[in-house]
A and B are shown apart, each in its own frame.
Chain A
Amino acid sequence: MDNKKIKLLIAVLLLITAAAVGVTVWALFFREQQTVVLTPDYAPQEEEINIEAIPGDSGEKMESEEGGGSVSLSYSNEATIDISDKKAYVYFANPGKSNQDMVLQIIISEEVILQSGTIVPGYKVSELDLLKDAEKMLSPGGYDGKFVVLYYSPESGEKAIVNTEIPIHITVRE
């Protein structure tokens, strides 16, 4: 093999090596990671920013045994997601008679696309922000999804042993 050919071979090998190193660096440091949402064991420190007081709610509490809990849910099983707004439009309320704070998740095909902040008793939400980049997983149309409602003690912030799932229908629009 003459010198020219050897040089060309070395150049090609160097190029392949550089490309492989580049791909490795990109995969390790720059590739977008899939967001994994873990259900918090303690209530989020921040109250949900989109909450509104329920008009005319007396705030009279349900009876509850010491160490137990009681919640009241008021909701619609239809939700709309606007991809361009990156928001979900829902009706979900934690009436004042509940004695637990709530966190609402919307799940489609086991992917959490939305997790609210704390919804305290006596308040409702009608719009919520999607999780970062969740809109990229969706396209216009109808989806079967679910609300997952988590309950937290207002005193300790600890998650209750009971949680609730509610199947819902979600319409996604652009």
Chain B
Amino acid sequence: MKKVFAVMIFAVFVQCLGCAAFAAENSTNIGEKYFAEIEVSAAWSFAEKTPAVYGIDIAWSNMTFVYSGEETKLWDPKTHTYDVESKGEWKEFSAEITVTNHSNISVSVEMEYVPEDKTCITGSLSKNFAVLEAGKEGDYAGADFVTATLYISGNPSSSDYFGGEKIGTVKIIVK
């Protein structure tokens, strides 16, 4: 009977040891007392805003176009009048316009030549439209750009354009 009792007491001790071992996994032992631990955690929520900032550079070369012409007056002895022959050519007839995008957003660029009223001189651009990529962080020199060439044509009369009158405008629309 004593042996049986001793075995039972031993078994109870062994079970108590197991309970203590399990408790050690999820509790802290302070001063031989057990306390439950509740984990408190924080999650960092961060919304980064990058508002669009537009930075556009526009450069153009010399926009003074020079037409060199000459007139020859030929005397007609039958009518006693002069027949006028005129010919000429553009010496300076093109200029470049470059648009560079330093924005943090892509932009579209439209270019248009708008002639002044009552001019016989016309102009055309080699490019009228381009989409420029957004600037890349840390790469200022690599900014996307477009270059268009403006070509001028027509036969101006010397009396109308002797003083270097304005013949038109290049309109650049940045969207």
9 contacts between A and B (CB under 8 A): A65-B62, A66-B62, A67-B61, A73-B174, A77-B52, A162-B60, A162-B170, A163-B171, A167-B173
When distances are taken between beta carbons in the complex, the residues of chain A under 8 Å from B102 are: 72
Contact partner, B63, options A67, A72, A97, A165, Cβ 8 Å? A67
By the criterion CB–CB under 8 Å, are A62 and B170 in contact?
Answer: no
- Shortest beta-carbon distance from B54 to chain A in Å: 5
How far, in whole Å, are A124 and B56 apart by their CA atoms in the complex? 15
When distances are taken between beta carbons in the complex, the residues of chain B under 8 Å from A68 are: 59-63, 95
Chain B: number of interface residues, binned into ranges: 20 to 34
How far, in whole Å, are A160 and B62 apart by their CA atoms in the complex? 11
Question: 9 closest Cβ contacts across the A-B interface?
Answer: A67-B62, A70-B59, A68-B61, A161-B63, A65-B61, A165-B173, A73-B56, A162-B170, A164-B172
Interface centre among A64, A66, A68 (most CB of B within 10 A): A68
Binding site for B on A (CB under 8 A): 62-77, 97, 160-167
By the criterion CB–CB under 8 Å, are B54 and A69 in contact?
Answer: no
Q: Which residue of B lies closest to A100 (CB)?
A: B58
Secondary structure call for the A interface? strand
Tell me if B53 counts as interface (CB < 8 A to partner A).
yes
Known contacts being A74-B53, A76-B53, A77-B52, is A162 close to B62, with CB within 8 Å? no
Interface centre among B56, B171, B175 (most CB of A within 10 A): B56
When distances are taken between beta carbons in the complex, the residues of chain B under 8 Å from A64 are: 59
By the criterion CB–CB under 8 Å, are A162 and B54 in contact?
Answer: no
- Shortest beta-carbon distance from B132 to chain A in Å: 13
By the criterion CB–CB under 8 Å, are A72 and B55 in contact?
Answer: yes
By the criterion CB–CB under 8 Å, are A162 and B53 in contact?
Answer: no
By the criterion CB–CB under 8 Å, are A69 and B60 in contact?
Answer: yes
B104-128 Cβ-contact flags toward A at 8 Å (1 or 0): 0000000000000000000000000
